[in-house]
Amino acid sequence: MRTTARYAAAAAGLLALSSLTACANDAAGTTSSGADTKGDGEGTKVKIMVGGLDKVIYLPAMLTQRLGYFDAEGLDVELLSEPAGVQAETALVSGQVQGAVGFYDHTLDLQVKGKEVESVVQFSQAPGEVEIVSTKAEGDIASPKDFKGKKLGITGLGSSTDFLTKYLAVKNGVKVSEFTPVAVGAGPTFIAALQQGAIDGGMTTDPTVATILDKKAGKILLDMRTPQGSQEALGGPYPSSSLYMQTSWVNSHKDTVQKLANAFVKTLTWMSTHSAGDIADKMPADYSQGNKMLYAVAIKNTLPMFTKDGVMPKNGPETVEKVLKAFNPNIQNAKVDLDKTYTTEFVQKATG
């Protein structure tokens, strides 16, 4: 994979900006908005790293905290934030946190690297991702077939946006060496890269998508926020955002994991019976970036991706494996035991 020195430097600058502006302050356990990401200080302590607390695709993490469901289960959960899911993965495998909220596909990638990690609550049945094309480049990119020679934004190298972009390219006859992935994070850094021409397009999520459309800075090329969109782009359901944990920790802390599953399933059920406006009202004020109506629209457009019960969608793991095998040589040359990448043991008890 190649990234020119010029754009690597630009990406580094953008990510530096992201560390200042993204809703994350990991050491303090608070978002930049000052929203409380810690529990009440009582109960079993659990640290969870989220690949972007303010991203709508990971909304159940903060919403569960705001609804008081962690506390109700006797848990003292501290939510931490990193701008990309791959960084949440790193925090998990290094033992900095007990859980990660990120894409399920990391469990497959980690398995072939000798790490046993499993999804214990599956938040979604679609990626929730959107491929955006900048207003300046929309005449040159009509489909992924036109990715050749283009600079495409992703949250980070090795992230799920990186994985999905590579798959879309390969599926449409473009080699991964024929385009340039540029790590630009999400939110303000992604939008700035798009507007300044550092990228021709890229993959991102709400509320970034809603802001881009509102600013008329780009248009949607592919929309994978719904099961139908996932089917059309990827050939099946694509379980993405989830709570995943190291298998050894799950097996030795089953009571705590069950409480986490109980809390998250309550949230998913609550989301399925409330409007986007109701959900927006529960979230930290700064997540709306001064436009609560636009934020509610972003939530509404992403809601179809979420499961109602936390259960892994049928044939979802197989779709993810197919996508990764299309471009990832490590997975192409390895046998993945999908049964070890997720468990429904806890969500079944929570729903039953």
* CATH (domain of 118): 3.40.190.10
**308 pLDDT above the threshold of 90:** yes
Burial of 166 from C-beta contacts in 10 A (0-12 / 13-18 / 19+): buried
Mark whether 115 and 243 lie in a shared domain: yes
Count structural domains, the chain.
2
pLDDT reported for residue 88: 83
Q: Is residue 11 part of a domain?
A: no
Q: Do the beta carbons of residue 121 and residue 260 sit within 8 Å?
A: yes
pLDDT reported for residue 87: 78
Task: Please tell me the distance from the alpha carbon of residue 65 to that of residue 283, in angstroms, as a whole number.
Answer: 10
Over residues 193-204, the pLDDT tens digits come to 999 999 999 999
Q: Is residue 3 part of a domain?
A: no
Q: What is the mean pLDDT of residues 240-250?
A: 97
| Omega before 207 within 30 of 0, i.e. cis | yes
Burial of 287 from C-beta contacts in 10 A (0-12 / 13-18 / 19+): buried
Over residues 22-40, the pLDDT tens digits come to 333 333 333 333 355 665 5
Last residue of a domain, which of 166, 201, 234?
234
Q: Do the beta carbons of residue 15 and residue 9 sit within 8 Å?
A: no
Mark whether 50 and 147 lie in a shared domain: no
pTM of the model: 0.85
pLDDT reported for residue 2: 34
Q: Do the beta carbons of residue 71 and residue 111 sit within 8 Å?
A: no
Give me the helix-helix angle, 292-302 and 208-215, nearest 10°: 120
Q: Quote the distance between the C-alpha of residue 322 and its chain's center.
A: 19
Q: Is residue 12 part of a domain?
A: no
**190 pLDDT above the threshold of 50:** yes
pLDDT reported for residue 201: 98
Mark whether 151 and 296 lie in a shared domain: no
Mark whether 67 and 84 lie in a shared domain: yes
Mark whether 35 and 162 lie in a shared domain: no
Last residue of a domain, which of 234, 262, 277?
234
Mark whether 345 and 247 lie in a shared domain: yes
Q: How far is CA 100 from CA 193, 277, 309, 352, in A?
A: 27, 27, 19, 25
Over residues 105-128, the pLDDT tens digits come to 999 999 999 999 999 999 999 999
Last residue of a domain, which of 234, 254, 285?
234
Q: Is residue 71 part of a domain?
A: yes
Q: What is the mean pLDDT of residues 209-213?
A: 96
Mark whether 139 and 220 lie in a shared domain: yes
Q: Is residue 224 part of a domain?
A: yes
Over residues 254-279, the pLDDT tens digits come to 999 999 999 999 999 999 999 999 99
Mark whether 183 and 203 lie in a shared domain: yes
Q: What is the mean pLDDT of residues 199-213?
A: 96
> pLDDT category, 82, cuts 50, 70, 90?
confident
> pLDDT category, 234, cuts 50, 70, 90?
very high
Domain that holds residue 158: 128-234
